[in-house]
A and B are shown apart, each in its own frame.
Chain A
Amino acid sequence: MPDTPDLSIFVTHRPNRTAAMELAVDGVGCAACIRKIENGLMQVSGISAARLNLTDRRLAVEWDEDALSAGEVVQAVERIGYHAYPFRSVDAASEEARHAHWLLRCLAVAGFGATNIMLLSVSVWSGHVSDMTEETRDLFHWLSALIALPVAAYAGQPFFRSALRALRARQVNMDVPISVGIVLALGMSTVETVLHAQHAYFDSAIMLIFFLLCGRYLEQAMRRRTRAVAGNLAALKAEVAHRFAANNEIVIVPAAALRVGDRILIRPGERVPADGVVVSGTSEVDGSLITGETKPEAAFAGATIYAGSNNISGTLTVRVTAAASGTLVDEVQRLLDKALAEKSRVMRLADRAASLYAPVVHLTGALTVLAWLAVGASVHDAVVTGIAVLIITCPCALALAIPAVHVVASGRLFRCGVILNAGDALERLARVDTVVFDKTGTLTLPEPRVANASELPADMVEAAARLALSSRHPLAAAVAREATLRIPYDSAEEIPGCGVRATLDGVEARLGSPDFCGVPARKPARAEGSIVAFSWGNRSMLLTIRQSIRPEAAATVAALVDLGLNIRILSGDRPEAVAPVAANLGIGNWTGGVSPADKIAEIKRLRGEGRRILMVGDGLNDAPALAAADVSISPISAAHMTQAQADAVFLGEQLTPVIEAVLTARKAHQLITQNLFAAVSYNAIAVPIAIAGYVTPLVAAVAMSGSSILVTVNALRARRAP
């Protein structure tokens, strides 16, 4: 069996027989890593370029196709001491990168315009109180127009395009009043310049574009960063499959490259890479990630097995049927689509504000013009005052108020190990009053552990654990986690279906089923868990392997109760397996043996009672329930499809990020409310001044930058712990 995988689908070919590939690299975080990886790779003959990006943790490599294969490049990185996984960038990601570049270019142009026009404007303002002649003032206005018009045409595109899109769909978003304000301000200023008038608002219009682009860019950069990390995690989890090639030779391919009809080999301890039907072999399969059921099921020729389940005891040959309809994954997908369609569209706060804001602002502008005409002002003066109202009400602070808080709060969550998938997750998270947990993999750790290690002699446990290192069996992996010295015994030999044996200090030691070790089997004391036996000479013991509860889960649950939240468990596992966990964590409200459809029904029932639900789950069976809840969080160990569905993902073994997420969301919600209040009060003060006709360009500039800076500084408070 060749041990370099076939990674050809990840490689891009360049001219001159050069190949290039992107790799997601695990565990890099400092300058030394960059040097070690880049220099190490450059010393490998055949590799022509290597560059590690520390921001998105990706490594770009170029090499000579004749000298090396892609698999050998990955091995070269592994030899340096890092885990690297081929990464295929999604079209959406590169599209977003182009969008970010475009926003940054617009921002640079707006910045250039704003500074140069301000240079001219400050001269004009000081000219009003000193000796500037009218000819010089006009010259400066013309110069401002010369800069402002092309700058606005270029840098204003993000707003103009989005406003046009919204208007075509017969909707109003925040960009509509922004675009109207900018266009009217520039138009009026140009006319005023032609008429040799005293005031022009070029500086306000360009400054407005500059501030708004800052908010836009920050928001986009945050989204891109979380997406890059999420993409890396997906690549790190990407699995390989052993596929039979045409000549019955086994090739290692990425699971993504499997097609329907392929025959694959699944060895004990491996995860099933795709849905399929067993062709030959018998084994036990652990489907806890899919159904939540912790008891393994038998797999035999003709049985269907699902992607994501774990093969426990025997080697299986499987024909891939992933695309066939009626599989469990399909069923989950169908429920998911339905739940998504039914999910009440929580209108985003910003859009809701916009739909109220635009008509009010435009109406105020129009009424101002009419009122001034009614009291006998000239048409020119009335229109100028009306436009000044539109400029001063342009939602600069309002458009910054929400994104600025989002950026700071999600940055804080990022540092706490919570990655937000959905932009409006914070808003929904802040209003949650009920938390529904899944059990398997969420309240408990995704991998089983030895439960009774502390009750057994330490030297025996250590010997058993080191012996377990030589086995691929999942139960052995649980035992192996107890090893302090992670060196396998040289003489260890695995007997498939039975266990491992080795000669230690001249005495034979065996680890495996009680029969294999000659230890009398007894029923496990508790319903939950599997038994592994270990014998060493005439000493023997039984190890109980069980899924253990996440560290600090009890403290997390208690803290969530203190926050005034109602906690429930909804598990697909057997009720007798759920009961001890619920009792341990002090959760009175639990249900076991729930099917995916029942989970949705229960969530809907709770929502019907007027509750706002946070669902925390990891299994494929949780995916539809996650979509049906108001907001959802998954641990990073969750099934791929489930994770894609969750509004947020948390890293690490502890459950504490859930508290952090709720607290930060509440704080963010409070800050957003304060910011909106500040923006509204700014308008309450500025609008009457504008209606009265006292807004000069100087007043507009001070008011707009003042309010923008105020809301940004307030948003920064989300950085600190609540």
Chain B
Amino acid sequence: MNVLIYLVPMALLLGLAGLAAFMWSLRDGQYEDMDGSAVRILSDDDLNSTDKAA
């Protein structure tokens, strides 16, 4: 059972990393416009609209 000593912290860290990633994406405004994001990904010319209005 000694394997738990590193497996359990590893599982927790992975979970926390996922949570942190979600929090970052939330703060980054990625859930502000679900419909827009779905169609924006199809457009190629995103080079001149990378900066956003807050």
Give residues in A with beta carbon < 8 Å to B.
Answer: 20, 30-31, 34-35, 38-39, 42, 48-56, 60-62, 101, 104-105, 108-109, 112, 115-116, 119, 133, 136, 139, 143, 147
In the complex, per-residue mask of B15-54: 1 if CB is within 8 Å of any chain A CB, else 0: 1101100110010000111111001101101001101111
A interface secondary structure, majority: helix
A136 touches B4 (CB 8 A): yes
In the bound complex, residues from chain B placing their C-beta under 8 Å from that of A136 are 1, 4
Q: How far is the CB of A70 from chain B (nearest CB, A)?
A: 14
Q: A38 and B4 in contact (CB under 8 A), knowing A20-B54, A31-B39, A108-B19? A: no
In the bound complex, residues from chain A placing their C-beta under 8 Å from that of B34 are 55
B36 touches A119 (CB 8 A): no
A-B contact pairs, 7 of them (CB 8 A): A34-B36, A34-B43, A50-B49, A54-B39, A55-B36, A108-B22, A119-B11
Give residues in B with beta carbon < 8 Å to A.
Answer: 1, 4, 8, 11-12, 15-16, 18-19, 22-23, 26, 31-36, 39-40, 42-43, 45, 48-49, 51-54
In the bound complex, residues from chain A placing their C-beta under 8 Å from that of B42 are 31
A54 touches B26 (CB 8 A): no
How many A-B Cβ pairs are below 8 Å?
72
In the bound complex, residues from chain A placing their C-beta under 8 Å from that of B18 are 112
B49 touches A42 (CB 8 A): yes
A34 touches B53 (CB 8 A): no
A51 touches B16 (CB 8 A): no
> CA–CA, A221 to B18, complex, Å?
23
> A61-B53, A108-B22 provided; 13 other pairs, C-beta below 8 A?
A20-B53, A31-B42, A42-B48, A51-B52, A52-B36, A54-B35, A55-B32, A60-B53, A62-B53, A62-B54, A109-B19, A112-B18, A136-B4
> CA–CA, A112 to B15, complex, Å?
6
Closest to B42 in A: A31
In the bound complex, residues from chain B placing their C-beta under 8 Å from that of A115 are 15
Q: How far is the CB of B18 from chain A (nearest CB, A)?
A: 7
Q: How far is the CB of B12 from chain A (nearest CB, A)?
A: 6
In the bound complex, residues from chain B placing their C-beta under 8 Å from that of A34 are 36, 39-40, 43
B45 touches A35 (CB 8 A): yes
Closest to A119 in B: B11
Q: How far is the CB of B52 from chain A (nearest CB, A)?
A: 5
Q: A38 and B26 in contact (CB under 8 A), knowing A54-B35, A54-B36? A: no
In the bound complex, residues from chain A placing their C-beta under 8 Å from that of B51 are 48-49
